[in-house]
Amino acid sequence: MNDTNRSTLTFETMAELIPEIRAAHANPTAALPNLSSVLHDYTPLPHEALFLGIANDGLPVLLNLRDPVPGPVLIAGDPDSGKTKLLQIIARAIDQRHDPENIRFAVVTEEIRDWEGLDQSENCEGILSFRQPLTTNYLDSLVEWAHNNKHDKQFILLLVDGLEALTADKEIHQIFRWLLLRGPARRIWPIITLDAAHSLEVNPWLEFFRTRLCGHITGEKNIQLLTGSTNVFFRDLIAGSQFSMRESRDWLPFWLPNLD
């Protein structure tokens, strides 16, 4: 059996064992493969494909950066649902599988230490803090880059760990709105996390996000605001290991590999 088949079998088996995992209140993380091995098993991926995770059928879940229709991406869930982990998986997959001339990323976060090491990546434009002049200047530079590089083939990902913190800075609201409205069409992709408990607080901003990756969420009001339903499906997602993506009318779960 080759490596790809082993990886596929692992995720298919995990999907079958979900009822037992929930019943035992078990943490399945140790049974999941790490990111490097998963990326190796599924190489090559398309140059414009952003890796997000692995579906229950063992196939990779990808975002086509060349298609701006999905728009900015919101990663939402309760604390410990794996929001930052998913954001880091995206960044590390870029570092491992994409040429800096094709895809680059910058991170805005309250916890700089969570991103130690990635600042050394050739794909990384910087690890920035909220409410800092350097961050405001960088967002301004993204807008300028978007206007002046219309024929460039490079993509830039703006990875923000905390929508609630970003929207609290009123000085950047105009720039931020522009990036949400125009960014993906200009090859700038905002991918932003949100603690589900702050959903009502940032509700006016949620309309900018057509694409939402939702993890474990328990509060009924938060589920309603983020997904438009009160489906208990989101309560059953395994915190730290599973997220879901809307496909047509359904929400399809996918797995997060372990960080290396």
- Digit-coded pLDDT (tens) for 85-95: 999 999 999 99
H-assigned helices in the chain: 3-16, 18-23, 35-41, 83-97, 133-148, 163-167, 173-182, 203-206, 220-227, 233-236
pTM, entire model: 0.91
As a 3-state breakdown, the chain gives helix, strand, coil percent values, each rounded to 5, of: 40, 25, 35
User: What pLDDT does 202 receive?
Assistant: 97
User: What pLDDT does 42 receive?
Assistant: 85
End-to-end CA distance of the chain: 24
Rounded to 10 degrees, what is the CA torsion of 232, 237, 239, 240? Answer: -150
Mean pLDDT by 10 residues, the chain (260 residues): 52 59 62 89 87 92 95 97 97 96 96 93 96 95 89 89 94 95 96 97 96 96 93 90 89 92
In order of their start, the domains of the chain are 67-253 (3.40.50.300)
Among 15, 82, 3, 63, smallest CA distance to 39 is for 3
DSSP assignment letter at 34 = B
Q: How many CB atoms lie within 10 A of CB 109?
A: 20
**Do 76 and 212 touch, CB atoms closer than 8 A?**
yes
117, containing H or E segment: none
User: What pLDDT does 225 receive?
Assistant: 95
Q: List the structure tokens of 106.
A: 């910058």
User: What pLDDT does 15 receive?
Assistant: 58
Compute the half-sphere exposure of residue 111: CA atoms within 13 Å on the CB side of its CA. 8
Q: Measured between alpha carbons, how far is 157 from 180 in angstroms, rounded to an integer?
A: 12
User: What pLDDT does 166 receive?
Assistant: 92
User: What pLDDT does 1 receive?
Assistant: 43
Distance of CA 161 to the CA centre of its chain: 10
Distance of CA 89 to the CA centre of its chain: 8
